[in-house]
Amino acid sequence: MNFLVTGGAGFIGSHVCERLLNDGHSVWAYDDLNDFYDPRFKQRNLREIQALAKPFEFIYGDITDRAALDEVFASVKFDQVIHLAARAGVRPSLAEPALYQRVNVEGTVNVLEAGRRAGVRKMIVASSSSVYGAGSKSPFSESDPVFSPISPYAASKLACESLGHVWHHLYKMDIAMLRFFTVYGPRQRPDLAIYKFARLMMAGKPIPVFGDGSAARDYTFITDTLEGILACTRREFGFEVFNLGESQTVPLRRMVELLEEALGKKAIIDRQPLQPGDVPLTFADISKARARLGYHPAVPFDKGVKLFADWFLRHQGLPV
């Protein structure tokens, strides 16, 4: 099949492209290589994909550019679209809320519309555990009410989920919305905590720890997230929302301890106050994904952090 992967040069997107290619599909990656973090990270990801010598094409483009998207959809008959492109991160969204709405919400409308006009019947769209906000019961279930996001980023992802439902309702597109839970592993974005902490620790610099270290996350290793995404490509749902997490929580202080063990380096802790927009807990109820997708995460955090550290040390944290 022909797949378009928006955000295909990024952390999750590059792994998706690689997996689809290894499964025998043809892949087009669409990415604007913006400077949210050093573009050389994405360029390295692209080189690794291109080294596979499989049917892959990179298209430089911005999802807010409707004309550019229409041109892409007019040039290739795509069987499915995996829409991962977005402005990511809770804290940066506080500084640039309008940018997050423009890219994440308007950009998603552009992708949905371009796909509809081109006759694409199936899309898989990235959402986020952040849509649950701070007051949800745990573990978080897809059936929980999600009306109280606490950051512009979370609000933008909740809007994307609503838009996906609209395009399914109006145009009968098959749409799966995937709520990712703190994905980590090789190629991880350098702004995310595990990568950032590893880089600072290896440089002998303090790591910023917000709060008392009790905030907990449902860390999900990249290969488990990939299994959930790929399972969606093989099934039809109409419209569904799925949690893709590990369904295990790891407090921040424990994450730091395990990262210290994996890197063989002691962390210097720089205590800082809790940040606006941060939630105290993410914890996925994955019973729906287990039942409907056959989703069974296989990499516990203590194993996954070692796999990440091995990759990080081989690359020495460099983008080149």
* Percentage of residues of the chain with pLDDT beyond 70: 98
pLDDT at residue 316 greater than cutoff 60: yes
- Residue 58: per-residue pLDDT: 98
Return the axis-axis angle of helices 152-171 and 107-118, rounded to nearest 10°: 20
3-state secondary structure of 208: strand
Name the CATH architecture for the domain at 2-184+221-247+280-298: 3-Layer(aba) Sandwich (3.40)
Region 207-226: what's the mean pLDDT?
Answer: 92
- Residue 207: per-residue pLDDT: 93
Angle at 130 between CA 304 and CA 171, to 5 degrees: 110
pLDDT-based confidence at residue 318 (cuts at 50, 70, 90): low
Contact 174, 237 (CB under 8 A): yes
For the purposes of burial, counting CB atoms within 10 Å of the CB of 135, is it exposed (0-12), middle (13-18) or buried (19 or more)? exposed
The CB-side HSE value for 127 (13 A sphere, CA atoms) comes to 30
Is the peptide bond preceding residue 190 cis, with omega within 30 degrees of 0?
no
pLDDT-based confidence at residue 214 (cuts at 50, 70, 90): confident
Contact 90, 155 (CB under 8 A): no
Region 257-272: what's the mean pLDDT?
Answer: 94
Region 184-204: what's the mean pLDDT?
Answer: 94
CB proximity list for 217: less than 8 A, separation 6 or greater: 181, 182, 249, 250, 252, 255, 281, 282
The alpha-helical segments, DSSP class H, found in the chain are: 11-22, 39-50, 66-75, 90-95, 97-100, 107-118, 152-171, 193-202, 222-233, 252-263, 287-293, 301-315
Residues annotated as catalytic are 153
User: pLDDT for 105-137, tens place per residue?
Assistant: 999 999 999 999 999 999 999 999 999 987 668
Cα 314 → chain centroid: 23
Region 196-201: what's the mean pLDDT?
Answer: 95
- Pairwise CA distance, residues 142 & 320, whole Å: 39
- Pairwise CA distance, residues 104 & 86, whole Å: 5
Region 67-84: what's the mean pLDDT?
Answer: 97
- Residue 138: per-residue pLDDT: 82
